[in-house]
Structure 1
């Protein structure tokens, strides 16, 4: 086992900030590559289904085929990522995504794609994501120093969201020009490049995992870690509702309101673009702001997520709707960075992926149910009351979480937290670096 005294250190690149070491840079570069490809692939897969003669229901089936294995395998993925070297899990998951997208592209380009084939390949992609996500989050958190964690997480999310915005715009244009099959092929190449980058990660600073009692034992241990922290499970429970109702409002009611009151898909696309721009703005804000009470600041920032549903319920004109979407995008980034910083600070390194898996599972498990019930809710109560109900649920569950003392009182530690292991490729930032060159604005 590599000790703190002889752990490998990499010389810091003169043009990178002091907290952006080799591993962090590789992880960020790989995330940018995959987000550029994946956002375009989401558009391409929908148009591939339509070009094959499918309708909106078929598009939904292909999307659901990806979501179901993601929900089913997340907890197993978290346990595997805490048992095996995380970068190996990430590379294997990227390889699976590469193969499934390449096969999807070949089917589409052949002109012989069938719905069941597209569903199967989407399910393989969702399986890869289920193993990748907990490993990736645990790897990122073990890569940065506690002192600079929030800034590093903000920059990482900024890079991802920027790549996502660019990937969506580029992907849409490429689908129109060269067709969905070639865009899916580009996504397969992006996964291959990302896997190559992640294979270069240096994990010698992470202590070898102690032999455990098996997968079920690992899951139980992760569950105890999860339920033993009231701030953790209450916020995950909160987000199981928030993500579900916000997803229903955006995916189901938003396009309908846009069609009936805003002028169609174009204005709704602008509103979603404003949300994406807001996430970039929020990440820029969190590069500078370090709230002392991490979870209090993060939880208060969830309240604005109720405003898009309320704006759609009115409905407001496009300009105010875009403003509301921008603010809610910025707000979710305040929460996201604060949340990642709290997990990095409080959760032991060897349990990060399992806790992350429970977090992911709780956050997405109710999304399929909410989107499935959105239509019946509109039929039963009307679209406007359903949207006001979405907004009200966000406010109520967020206010309830603020009643938990740990949520209000958990504070940022001023000394570096290294999860019990050194972060060999990240050096502490000097006072000058903290206050000058890398302070945005």
Structure 2
């Protein structure tokens, strides 16, 4: 893949967008430490960024199927680039200005996701897509590990304003570096339809693939319940049970390391029942909330998060690859936008609901329900026809 110039450019742009996405919250966190932004202001800015992301994803899916995927990547990256100087200017002056600019940045971030997914199918040949998706996931996981420390290190030598312009530079790379793809072009009747009608065509295309609906339900359940519960409860358990934040840092690092290992493995691994293997791997995330239920040794908690990260990555790469292979090319961006809208879009809702649920019922029953959900829902998804291979053509084993 590294000898393919088109993929290298696509990988560079995707990595830059991922690094910019992860860096912004940490840069704004440094602004809180420096007294330029209050904790409430930080919450407002990050919340409006999420709103912008969710609002832009379905629109971008339609636009990326209607027009050039490369063009959508360009304009979404430029949109996020332009928002960063506005955030820098508003820092210490106006939280409202920062919030509006953050919503624009979130829209750019959300718009590029389905476009990048569809552009990958145009740039990379089918036989190499699993390796390409694994390489992209690998860069995302490395970014997860590197971005916090790198941002903190740079913050010791540079002002927050300079770092925000650095984030803008990353978005500019994401906008201009990716190559053009082999556009399939929308059908004439699709081009004449309205936005809602075109998006609903994407929904109908998704429904044509039972494995996709089942996998999306499993992924959404994991993010809304398992991921949200573990992210809310893990800091409390680290503080109250173990009396140190080291367990929190080690567990989150272990999750990223597990995902890195998973990305390396799945670049070459081709299980015969790829869909079942992916769904069972996704179910491994249940070990994350499960380990928080019991007073285990801290090493066991870290190990559970390593397994969770490994499982999620062994699901993600086959999932993206199957979507790029099975979905009609002229509807791929819309189906991908539905994926991001439901899975990542509902994650903030899960985070918002988990804390009140713990307050009302206690952490133990909430964690138990979330763990059971993580284990059971992906296994039930394996019962859906076509889920065995993530393909619309059932095998004899189905």
TM-score by length of 1: 0.83
User: What is the CA distance between 1:412 and its match in structure 2?
Assistant: 11
Q: Which residue of 1 aligns with 2:360?
A: 380
Give the distance between the partners of 2:240 and 2:20, measured in 1 at CA.
32
Alignment partner of 1:213 is 2:192: yes
Inter-CA distance 370–355: structure 2 relative to 1 (3 Å threshold) = same
Moved more, 65-74 or 95-104: 65-74
SS of match in other structure, 1:365: helix
Inter-CA distance 238–371: structure 2 relative to 1 (3 Å threshold) = same
Alignment partner of 1:153 is 2:133: yes
Inter-CA distance 406–208: structure 2 relative to 1 (3 Å threshold) = closer
Residue correspondences, number: 389
Give the distance between the partners of 2:87 and 2:95, measured in 1 at CA.
11
Inter-CA distance 35–366: structure 2 relative to 1 (3 Å threshold) = closer
Q: Is the 8 A contact 2:25 2:46 kept in 1?
A: no
Alignment of 1:278-357 (within 5 A): 278-357=258-337
Inter-CA distance 411–83: structure 2 relative to 1 (3 Å threshold) = closer
Q: Which residue of 1 aligns with 2:21?
A: 38
Unaligned regions of 5+ residues in structure 1, if any? 1-15, 414-441
Give the distance between the partners of 2:368 and 2:314, measured in 1 at CA.
24
Q: Which residue of 1 aligns with 2:58?
A: 75
Alignment of 1:219-234 (within 5 A): 219-234=199-214
SS of match in other structure, 2:185: coil
Q: Is the 8 A contact 1:242 1:393 kept in 2?
A: yes
Give the distance between the partners of 1:234 and 1:308, measured in 2 at CA.
22
User: What is the CA distance between 1:179 and its match in structure 2?
Assistant: 4.0
TM-score by length of 2: 0.91
* Partner of residue 95 from structure 1, selected from 59, 63, 78: 78
User: What is the CA distance between 1:249 and its match in structure 2?
Assistant: 2.0
Give the distance between the partners of 1:317 and 1:115, measured in 2 at CA.
43
Give the distance between the partners of 2:161 and 2:381, measured in 1 at CA.
45
Unaligned regions of 5+ residues in structure 2, if any? 394-398
Deviations 1:184-237 (A, max 9, x none): 221111111222212xx133x323333322323321221110112211112212
Give the distance between the partners of 1:28 and 1:256, measured in 2 at CA.
37
The structure whose RCO (Cα within 8 Å, separation 6+) is larger is: 1
Alignment partner of 1:268 is 2:248: yes
Which structure features the higher share of helix residues?
2
Q: Is the 8 A contact 2:326 2:391 kept in 1?
A: no
Give the distance between the partners of 2:159 and 2:242, measured in 1 at CA.
28
Deviations 1:355-397 (A, max 9, x none): 1011111112322322111221111111222222211111221
SS of match in other structure, 1:408: coil
Give the distance between the partners of 1:168 and 1:412, measured in 2 at CA.
41
Give the distance between the partners of 1:46 and 1:33, measured in 2 at CA.
20
Alignment partner of 1:358 is 2:338: yes
Inter-CA distance 395–136: structure 2 relative to 1 (3 Å threshold) = same
SS of match in other structure, 1:405: coil
Q: Which residue of 2 aligns with 1:23?
A: 6
Q: Which has the larger radius of gyration?
A: 1
Give the distance between the partners of 2:314 and 2:262, measured in 1 at CA.
6
* Partner of residue 52 from structure 1, selected from 36, 39, 64: 36
Alignment partner of 1:173 is 2:153: yes
Q: Which residue of 2 aligns with 1:8?
A: none
User: What is the CA distance between 1:75 and its match in structure 2?
Assistant: 1.2
Alignment partner of 1:240 is 2:220: yes
SS of match in other structure, 2:267: helix
Q: Is the 8 A contact 1:44 1:181 kept in 2?
A: no
User: What is the CA distance between 1:152 and its match in structure 2?
Assistant: 1.9
